[in-house]
Amino acid sequence: MNDSQFRWRTGGDENGRELAEAVSGFLGMSKEAAADLVDFGAVQVRGKMERDPSFRLCGGEEIFVAYPSCGTSRFYEIDPSRVIFRDPYLFAYDKEAGIASQQVPFDAYNNVFAALLRFLGAEDKKQCYGALHHRLDRETSGVLLFAIARKANEPLGRAFRERKVKKEYLAWVEGYPQSDFWSEDREIGKVAGKYRAVDTGKGKPARTSFTVLCRKEGRSLVSAVPETGRTHQIRIHLALAHHPVAGDRAYGAKPDRRLYLHARRLTLNHPVSGKLLCLEAPVPPDWPEAPDQKAGQNNRY
């Protein structure tokens, strides 16, 4: 049943029937297994994820089930050694590559946001609160920042909206850029279900500044500073320069062990105290090493 998808519409005779019972009957599995699928986030009702197995149907609903490729394995939890910063208001975490920032269709468990709520709830269920105002792609590693108190949530969200949070990324890219410094401001929009660079007026404004830090063995290590926060912005802008992120098959790079994009640093004023914060995630241990450079050169990291 792995990687299988099922879609059907309930009949009028199912008015009042529990969702887990309906899934169980259609897929020919036990009610317990169906309830597990629902709780895991693998079931949608009328196009929205429904995680309550006892949810009562009215009849006529479209139900969509996508059985997760790895089953309903609940394997991901917060690793305390990856916590970058924590106080009563903020929680900064060094996200691993391969883990979603928040729930994705058909898996509401194995992501950093859900794991954070479980982590905080284990400490104090009454004080369990979390909010996320920026995201990293599943294959991107690095700094992910959460508000964990309502007092911090609104000012933190405002800081991101007003672009008062400076984001700095590292990327190993294919080839050697001709210039050590450049910027890209092509708009980004969605075309045929994929994010792409589009003509002015057909997408959302996007701007990224790039600096080459070193060149080594057919690749270059680049610092990327996005001034806006569009989906796949850095990846698209680097592909436009004909230097896609190493491992980024979606934008023209050769296959590799991983996507070599890392959210290295966030700099912002604390939303409650106003104190300047510089939150850094160490370079991943599975990255190629950059050659040692002399002090004063711009190709250190």
Distance CA 144, CA 166 (A): 13
Distance CA 80, CA 153 (A): 22
Q: Annotated catalytic residue: which of 52, 94, 124, 137?
A: 137
Q: What b/e readout covers 244-264, taking b as 16+ CB neighbours within 10 angstroms?
A: bbbbbebbebeeeebbbbbbb
Distance CA 257, CA 181 (A): 28
79, 186, 202, 251 from 199: Cα distances, Å:
43, 7, 6, 18
- The set of residues, in sequence order, having a beta carbon less than 8 Å from that of 109 and lying 6+ positions away, is 40, 41, 72, 74, 76, 103
Task: Give the length of the chain.
Answer: 301
- The set of residues, in sequence order, having a beta carbon less than 8 Å from that of 195 and lying 6+ positions away, is 188, 189, 230, 231, 232, 236
Do the beta carbons of residue 68 and residue 107 sit within 8 Å? Answer: yes
Do the beta carbons of residue 54 and residue 34 sit within 8 Å? Answer: no
3-class SS of residue 19? helix
Question: Is 137 one of the annotated active-site residues of the chain?
Answer: yes
Which residues are annotated as catalytic? 137
